[in-house]
């Protein structure tokens, strides 16, 4: 089993999580066969016993069943280990921590499990951009676009890679596509496009 490092330590701040108490992402339940994926209400972890008495908490202190899935009630170990999602989450954690080599490793492992996942290709493109590996970033961004052509993130990463490599016409075309796909942030892409046009003068 691959080692997973740099787990997001604040995942318990979310109202619900697909991670068990050890930070491992869990999938479908093999015990009840009716739960598509581990899902936990984190309030079960954070409410005190005193609060629980007035708010209907199901668990007493030191009760191991506190980790059971909120959906089906089965323990986390009954849920399959979600390898690709674990690697993606570990990659996200590593990237947030500035560990680009670690993020690259985790996203690459996740892609071995889910080669048709556009998010993973786009995320790895972001890592390559952070490492200034621009041709690799362009490759991954374009692969993500081939899988999800209407998603703005890989288009923005494609534009950035072209811009870094002084391929200004291609960068301008990609930023124009970003404006088309994401009208709410069009001003950001318009500014990037204007910068490219100034460079081209």
Interval 133-148: pLDDT, tens:
999 999 999 999 999 9
Query: What are the beta bridge partners of residue 41?
Result: 16
* Residue where a domain stops, chosen among 37, 56, 81: 81
CA distance 71 to 27: 12
Residue 103 domain flag: no
Chain centroid to CA 40: 18
Q: How many helices (H) and strands (E) does the chain have?
A: 9, 4
Q: State the total domains in the chain.
A: 2
| Mean model confidence pLDDT for the chain | 87
- Helix-strand-coil percent breakdown of the chain, rounded to 5? 60, 5, 35
Task: Read off the CATH number of the domain in which 194 is found.
Answer: 1.25.40.10
CA distance 51 to 54: 6
Q: What is the value of pTM for the model shown?
A: 0.73
Query: What are the beta bridge partners of residue 105?
Result: none
Task: Residue 155: give the domain boundaries.
Answer: 138-200
Residue 73 domain flag: yes
Residue 172 domain flag: yes
pLDDT at residue 5 greater than cutoff 50:
no
CA distance 67 to 94: 25
Interval 84-100: pLDDT, tens:
989 998 999 999 999 99
Residue 110 domain flag: no
* Residue where a domain stops, chosen among 81, 99, 123: 81
* Residue where a domain stops, chosen among 63, 81, 99: 81
Residue 109 domain flag: no
Residue 31 domain flag: yes
- DSSP line for 22-83: TS-BEEEESSSS--SS--EETHHHHS-HHHHHHHT----TT-GGGGS-TTT---GGGEEE-H
Interval 155-198: pLDDT, tens:
999 999 999 999 999 999 999 999 999 999 999 999 999 999 88
Residue 116 domain flag: no
Helix axes 83-96, 118-130, angle to 10 degrees: 30
Interval 51-78: pLDDT, tens:
544 455 555 666 778 889 999 999 999 9
Residue 127 domain flag: no
């Amino acid at each position: 089993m691959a080692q997973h490092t740099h787990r997001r330590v604040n995942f318990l701040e979310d109202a619900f999580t697909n991670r068990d108490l050890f930070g491992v992402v869990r999938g479908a339940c093999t015990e009840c066969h009716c739960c598509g994926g581990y899902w936990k209400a984190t309030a079960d972890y954070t409410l005190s016993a005193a609060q629980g008495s007035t708010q209907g908490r199901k668990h007493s202190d030191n009760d191991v069943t506190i980790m059971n899935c909120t959906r089906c009630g089965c323990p986390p170990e009954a849920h399959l280990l979600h390898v690709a999602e674990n690697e993606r989450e570990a990659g996200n954690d590593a990237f947030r921590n500035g560990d680009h080599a670690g993020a690259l490793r985790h996203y690459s492992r996740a892609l071995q499990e889910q080669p048709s996942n556009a998010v993973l290709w786009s995320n790895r493109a972001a890592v390559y951009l952070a490492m200034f590996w621009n041709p690799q970033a362009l490759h991954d961004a374009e692969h993500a676009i081939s899988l999800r052509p209407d998603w703005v993130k890989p288009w923005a990463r494609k534009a950035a890679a072209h811009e870094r490599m002084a391929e200004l016409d291609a960068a301008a075309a990609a930023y124009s596509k970003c404006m088309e796909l994401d009208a709410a942030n069009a001003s950001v892409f318009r500014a990037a496009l204007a910068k490219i046009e100034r460079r081209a003068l």
